[in-house]
Amino acid sequence: MADFLPVSRSDMDARGWQQCDFVYIVGDAYVDHPSFGHAIISRVLEDAGYKVGIIAQPNWKDPASIAALGEPRLGFLVAGGNMDSMVNHYSVSKTRRSFDAYTPGGVIGKRPDRAVTVYCNLIRRTFRSAPIIIGGIEASLRRLAHYDYWSDSIRRSVLLDAQADLLIYGMGERAVVEIADALNDGMDVRDITYIDGTVYRCRAVDDAVPSITLPAYGALLADRRKYAESFYLQYRNTDPFRAKRLIEPYGEHEFVVQNPPQKPLSQEQMDHVYDLPYMRAAHPSYDRLGGVPAVTEIKFSLTSCRGCFGACSFCALTFHQGRIIQTRSHASILREAEAMTHDPDFKGYIHDVGGPTANFRQPACKKQLTRGACPERQCLFPTPCKNLVADHSDYLSLLRKLRKLPNVKKVFIRSGIRFDYLLCDPSDTFFRELIRHHVSGQLKVAPEHVSDAVLDVMGKPRHAVYERFVEKFRALNAQEGMRQYIVPYLMSSHPGSTMQEAVRLAEYLLQTGHEPEQVQDFYPTPSTLSTVMYCTGLDPRTMQPVYVPRNPHEKAMQRALMQFRRPENYALVREALQKAGRTDLIGFDAKCLIRPYPPKQNRQKPDSGTSPRPRRSDRRRR
């Protein structure tokens, strides 16, 4: 009978265990659901015959908390959680958040800043020789030298700061079992240097393996242009079929070596991973603390795919999951959905069927599963590739089957539709059924901006493409006799956005009557093209200069322009219009954003610093 994995000595005793093979230290609460990385990795290891115990959110100020399950036979696994710990703790303005969706009761501060490094150093103090393997989103995106927004510096590989032995990047199911088998066979962890999807450190590099040597860490500190060049080399080596081994020198006798990514899982392998005996719930010890808020977002949602060939500049998915789409079979998803309908809390609504991009259910073109993604060409940007296969028939078939399940009233799609890909499909069938069956009154899409200059930097389609989508959405709604609306995700202060471009976005919001409740200010998180632009002022793809809004006051003005109707933003909006030379938008005409005088009640609303609930795509980015 399925049960939660051991979290205490008494749990181990109940199973008759004297020792765990692996102890998994994680910065999130223990949620045994396949939307949580620690759940997948621990269940995959269990399926391979290994004993895994979980220490969730240990007290990093107390060394004894790391030793709660004793020393593992083979090693420690360490992950910061489903979110980078710094993003989890701080808003883009670097103010402390007041809510953590991955902690019982939403309490903030139950994990340290830079959680992977802190946990590993704590382990080293207590178990000096135990192998430590790090993974998850925090380690994956910091696997080589990276720009760190919170310290405004280029930090070295987290593998070195954490004093870990191996780093698993990407999704990791294959790599972790290969590592476990090697350790179980008696191999020294320092000799495990051959596994795809891993990073290791060494004092000498084997020249017999084809490799690319990146600029040394010292060179990156001395010249940030070198960092842009280095990152683009890394970015072009994220494909598992084409990538070379990368070597990053840290001195004459210290190197960090990244092996090529692990190969995509087949559909049978994906099914096996998601069919493992998850409890699909948070550990019951959290009930008295109010439960884990993030569970609400995913409890009645279905993962159908992973990977994304959208390759937006500000998104880390290309660097983490890769561009090749991997999918589960209909049968596997239907089994999970059918089991879901028996949950006493299920009300008949499946909240999501998707992944990083919901309507990606196949590789962008037929060759990707055997030859990989093109290093010199994006699938959708700047225009769709002529080899792109835009076909929603498989996804549509899956949704139809889910709609027919007993006790299912509605199947929603909330993890995001790539509208330019949707428009490439020569058939309107999916678009019609999306509108008829899968929208809850509002469809959220992500045009991000309206200026083509900014969209080019973002790696997003031109604004005219979005306008075509909106026009078609409205036409199909009219034909179906429905009144539904598009809610666009928009971003302020992205590299390339001058004050003039920000004003253009505000004009668009005025013309369309859209009033965004939340505004996403660009957040320079580790290992994205946009973050490198923020750091260097260069577009790594072209090495051409790009304008970067860095000044906090300028960023506040760009953000205020997107909510220009709010009285508390009046002064910032007026200043922004003056700076942009657009005082013509101050007046009484219909085209004006604000009046010449402030509103009578201009109350300042302080920034709460609360963490927005994670986007549904966050749960895929472990």
**Residue 522 CB partners (closer than 8 Å, separation 6+):** 92, 314, 491, 492, 493, 494, 495, 530, 534
Identify the CA nearest to 51 among candidates 15, 90, 95, 97.
Answer: 15
Neighbours of 397 (CB within 10 A): 12
Identify the CA nearest to 40 among candidates 237, 435, 306, 350.
Answer: 306
Residue 622 has pLDDT above 60, yes or no: no
Confidence of residue 194 (pLDDT cuts 50, 70, 90): very high
> How far separated are the first and last CA of the chain, in Å rounded?
27
> d(Cα 606, Cα 68) in Å, to the nearest integer?
42
**Residue 446 CB partners (closer than 8 Å, separation 6+):** 416, 488, 489
Length of the chain: 622
Helical H runs in 341-407? 368-371, 393-403
> d(Cα 457, Cα 540) in Å, to the nearest integer?
10
> d(Cα 39, Cα 303) in Å, to the nearest integer?
14
Q: What is the pLDDT of residues 287-317, one digit of tens each?
A: 999 999 999 989 999 999 999 999 899 999 9
Residues 560-576: what's their mean pLDDT? Answer: 97
Res 601: pLDDT: 64
Specify which residues 255 forms β-bridges with. 202, 249
> d(Cα 229, Cα 156) in Å, to the nearest integer?
16
Q: pTM of whole model > 0.75?
A: yes
Q: What is the pLDDT of residues 503-527, one digit of tens each?
A: 999 999 999 999 898 889 999 999 9
Res 206: pLDDT: 86
Structure token pair of residue 115? 């959680």
Helical H runs in 236-316? 267-274, 294-298
Using an 8 Å Cβ cutoff, are 602 and 570 in contact?
yes
Between strands 255-258 and 245-249, the pairing is antiparallel
- Crossing angle, helix 330-340 and helix 393-403, to 10 degrees? 30
Residue 240 has pLDDT above 50, yes or no: yes
Q: What is the pLDDT of residues 210-238, one digit of tens each?
A: 999 999 999 999 999 999 999 999 999 99
- What is the DSSP code (8-state) at residue 433? H
Higher-scoring residue by pLDDT: 119, 297? 119
> d(Cα 46, Cα 547) in Å, to the nearest integer?
50
- What is the DSSP code (8-state) at residue 287? G
Q: What is the pLDDT of residues 13-46, one digit of tens each?
A: 999 999 999 999 999 999 999 999 999 999 999 9
Using an 8 Å Cβ cutoff, are 347 and 558 in contact?
no
Using an 8 Å Cβ cutoff, are 284 and 188 in contact?
no
**Residue 517 CB partners (closer than 8 Å, separation 6+):** none
Residue 612 has pLDDT above 70, yes or no: no
What sign for the dihedral angle of Cα 405, 410, 415, 419?
positive
Identify the burial level of 618 via C-beta atoms within 10 angstroms of its C-beta, where 0-12 means exposed, 13-18 middle and 19 or more buried: buried
Between strands 22-26 and 75-79, the pairing is parallel
The answer to whether the peptide bond before residue 131 is cis (omega within 30 degrees of 0) is: no
Low-confidence winner among 262-266, 320-324, 611-615 (lowest mean pLDDT) = 611-615
Residue 604 has pLDDT above 90, yes or no: no
Amino acid letter, 344: P
Report the chain's mean pLDDT, rounded to a whole number.
94
Residue 56 has pLDDT above 60, yes or no: yes
Structure token pair of residue 505? 């976005």
Identify the burial level of 592 via C-beta atoms within 10 angstroms of its C-beta, where 0-12 means exposed, 13-18 middle and 19 or more buried: middle
Using an 8 Å Cβ cutoff, are 395 and 430 in contact?
yes
**Residue 365 CB partners (closer than 8 Å, separation 6+):** 379, 385, 387, 388, 389
Residue 617 has pLDDT above 60, yes or no: no
> d(Cα 279, Cα 54) in Å, to the nearest integer?
14
Give 230's Cβ-side CA count (13 Å radius): 26
Low-confidence winner among 294-298, 475-479, 565-569, 618-622 (lowest mean pLDDT) = 618-622
Residue 607 has pLDDT above 50, yes or no: no
> d(Cα 311, Cα 317) in Å, to the nearest integer?
7
> d(Cα 328, Cα 147) in Å, to the nearest integer?
35
Residue 613 has pLDDT above 80, yes or no: no
Residue 603 has pLDDT above 60, yes or no: no
Residues 173-177: what's their mean pLDDT? Answer: 98
Between strands 31-32 and 52-56, the pairing is unpaired
Res 1: pLDDT: 59
Structure token pair of residue 55? 């220490």
Between strands 410-411 and 352-354, the pairing is unpaired
User: Which stretches does DSSP call E strand in 452-558?
Assistant: 485-492, 520-521, 538-539, 544-545
Cα distances from 397 to residues 236, 329, 417, 595, in angstroms, run 34, 11, 17, 52
**Residue 451 CB partners (closer than 8 Å, separation 6+):** 463, 497, 501, 504, 505
> d(Cα 459, Cα 540) in Å, to the nearest integer?
12
Residue 165 has pLDDT above 80, yes or no: yes
Residue 619 has pLDDT above 80, yes or no: no
What sign for the dihedral angle of Cα 5, 10, 16, 19?
positive
> d(Cα 120, Cα 159) in Å, to the nearest integer?
10
Structural domains of the chain, ranges and CATH numbers in brackets = 9-200 (3.40.50.2300), 301-440 (3.30.750.210)
**For residues 541-575, b (16+ Cβ closer than 10 Å) or e, as one string?**
beeeebbbbeeeebbbbbbbbbbbebeebbebbbb
- What is the DSSP code (8-state) at residue 127? -
User: Which stretches does DSSP call E strand in 377-441?
Assistant: 410-411
Share of the chain above pLDDT 90, in %: 91
> d(Cα 75, Cα 621) in Å, to the nearest integer?
24
Identify the CA nearest to 532 among candidates 231, 143, 253, 237.
Answer: 231
Residue 620 has pLDDT above 70, yes or no: no
